[in-house]
Structures are given as C-alpha cells and as structure tokens.
Amino acid sequence: MKRTRKGRGLPVIRYAARRSVLAALVAAGVVVLTYLIACVVPSDPAGVWAGPRASAAERARVRAELGLDRPVAEQIVSYVTGVLRGDWGLSVGTHRPVLDDLLTLLPNTLQMVLAGLAVGLVVGVPAGLAAVRWYGRIPDTLVRTGALLSASMPTFWLALLLQLLFASRLGLLPIAGSHDRTVLAAHPVTTVTGLPLPDAVLTGNGAAAADLFDHLVLPALVVATYLAAVTARMVRASLLDAVGEPHIQMVRSLGFPERAVLGRFALRLAWNPVLQLNALVFGYALVNTFLVEEVFDYPGLGRYAADAVRSLDVPAVVGVTLLVALLYLAANLVVDLAQAALDPRITLR
C-alpha cells in the first residue's frame, strides 16, 4: 500500500469496518464466556431475589420468571438477543434493569478514569522526556526508580495511605464518597456531557464543582499513579529508540537545541506506542477502579460489580463485564483508527 495520505479515506473506512466486526465478535465471546462461568458458580439467584424467607414454591416461581429454569444454551441465546435489543436483564440485587444501573454509575467511573489518564499523561510524558534528556544521570535514575516503585505499589495500600494522610491527618480532602449530598441538593448539576464535574464547570456551578473536585482528587491520584509510571517508562523507551533514527541525528547535527530535538522531532515518533499504551491502560484502569471505589466508597461500576459478585448477581456481573469489554474495545478501535488516519507509515490490513 502507498505510504502517502492521498487516497487513504476508503482504506481507513474498510479498516474501521473490519475492526468493528472483530470487536463485536470479541464482545460476543466475552458475554458467552462470562455467562458460562457465572452459571458454573454455585448460586441461587432466585433465592436472593425472593428473599431469605421465601418458600420453595416462591423461589420456583421466581426462577421461572427470570428464565433460570431453562437450559444454559437457551439462556445465553436469550441474553444475547436481549442485549441487542437494549435489554441487559434485571439485577437480582437492585431489582432494576442492569443497563439502567450501569448507565447511572458509569459517569462516575469514567470521570475518575479519564482524570487519572490525564494526570498520568501530564506527569508521565515530561518525566520520560526528562529521563532521556539527562540519560544516565540523576534525573534518569530518579524517573526509573520512581516509575518502578509507582507501578509496583499495591492499589489498596496507596488508597489507604492517601486517606490517612490527606483526609484523616491533614483534613484537606474528603475521606470517601463522590459528593456531599447537602451541597448537590442546594446546587444541583445540570447535565451537559453526563460527567458530573465537567457539567458543573460548564454550567458555572462553582459550589458543586468544588465539592465534586475535592471528592475526585484522591481516587484519581490512585488511578494516575500506575498510569504515570508506565507512561514515563514507555516515553523513555520510545524516545531512546527514536533518537537513534538518521533524521533525528541529522536534526541534532544541524544545531537544534536538545529540547527541540526531543520535544519537536523525536516525540512525534514516540507518540504511536504511547497512544497504544494508553488504550491498554484505559482497560486496566477501568478494572483497577474496583478496588479504588471500594476503598473510597465511591459509587461507580467497581462498587456495583463488587456488590454483584458478593450477592452472586449473574445479570449484573455479566453486564459489568460486557460494558467494560465494550469500552476497552472502543478505546483500542479509536486509537487504531487515529493512528491509521494520521500516520501514512501504518499499513491498513
């Protein structure tokens, strides 16, 4: 395929269509596998739905209503066709449609993950640049050591440490929750994007924005710690590869300052692996929020999934798994398409 931008519109569309079909097949496989695993686990969803005092007849009636008395293969087919219609089943724990629960809680989790990604990029990219700029010297050693420690630090331990320091000892930030009910009751947030904090900022709701920001800081920092570490290491490795390219050596020989060589020229070559990495860590961050939300009592997909696992709520567990898989596949698809559309060196196949 030609390495020019001209005429890449149609190949990009075909590439997007093929990747979309593959993503749909992967999502279907995730649903089937998760449903099978959930069915193998010994549980009694009908008993959870009906309550501990329900009679055997009542539990049998609930099983029939939920379709749990049918063969597993039939249940899977029914569930998949329901998902395509927008019916993700009823949660055994909340007695509400699973999709409604997920759409209600998703903004909080997305807000935290996106904030963590933003902080990770803001910290990780300059740290990687500094490591290469002073390669083999003290800044490089500090970046490598800090990235190793940050990537290895247990999530729950870091969350507890931040709670102890900034909430309990210093009293600077809330220890848990996503907002203060009294603040949001007095200053309700008007929905614009669906994300509470950006909506409060866009609508000029200063009191709500300050409260939401205070509650978001610590969870987002926990998520950002790992992301910043892996971003710094990837930027460092990619830049070290890029500075060996002939045209980078030519730019350096022309007398450009080292800051320009790294920031204006070498970093352009390093962006592709960094984007790919962020698509991967986006999925990791979504799963990693389960522990973070539990520690901070933050209402999101993580707490919902943990409650669903504890109560053996099969529709909720499968629903969370499917949503996370779809978000992860969408992030990878967007990154692949952006790279394919912007970088003529990439072969579309």
* Confidence (pLDDT) at 9: 58
Question: According to the model, what pLDDT value does residue 145 have?
Answer: 92
Same domain, 301 and 324: no
* Whether the Cβ atoms of residue 344 and residue 4 lie closer than 8 Å to each other: yes
Does residue 99 lie within any of the structural domains?
A: no
Domain match, 17 and 141 both: no
Q: Please, which residues have CB within 8 angstroms of residue 192's CB and are 6 or more apart in sequence?
A: 198, 199, 202, 203
Q: Which domain covers residue 195, as residue numbers?
A: 107-308
322 and 290 housed in the same domain: no
The confidence score (pLDDT) of residue 268 equals 67
**Judgement on whether residues 172 and 296 belong to the same structural domain of the protein:** yes
The answer to the question of residue 264 being in a domain is yes
In a domain, 68, yes or no: yes
pLDDT at 52: 67
Same domain, 78 and 111: no
Contact 277, 231 (CB under 8 A): yes
Asked if 35 and 120 sit in the same domain, the reply is no
Backbone angles phi, psi at 243, to 5 degrees: -70, -15
Same domain, 303 and 315: no
Is the model more confident about 102 or about 77?
102
pTM here is 0.79
State whether 74 and 159 are in the same domain.
Answer: no
- Residue 82: exposure state from Cβ atoms within 10 A (0-12, 13-18, ≥19): middle
222 shares a domain with 246: yes
| pLDDT score, position 4 | 45
- Residue 66 is predicted with a pLDDT of 72
For residues 59-69, average pLDDT = 75
User: Are the beta carbons of 124 and 349 closer than 8 angstroms?
Assistant: no
Lowest-pLDDT choice from 15-19, 107-111, 201-205:
15-19
Is residue 21 assigned to a domain? yes
DSSP symbols for 220-257: HHHHHHHHHHHHHHHHHHHHHHHTTSHHHHHHHHTT--
User: Higher pLDDT residue, 266 or 104?
Assistant: 104
Task: Tell me what the mean pLDDT of segment 38-53 comes to.
Answer: 68
DSSP-assigned letter for residue 90: B
Q: What is the CATH number of the domain that holds 294?
A: 1.10.3720.10
Q: Specify the number of domains making up the chain.
A: 2
Mean pLDDT of the chain: 80
The answer to whether position 101 is within a domain reads: no
Per-residue pLDDT, 221? 92
pLDDT surpasses 50 at 147: yes
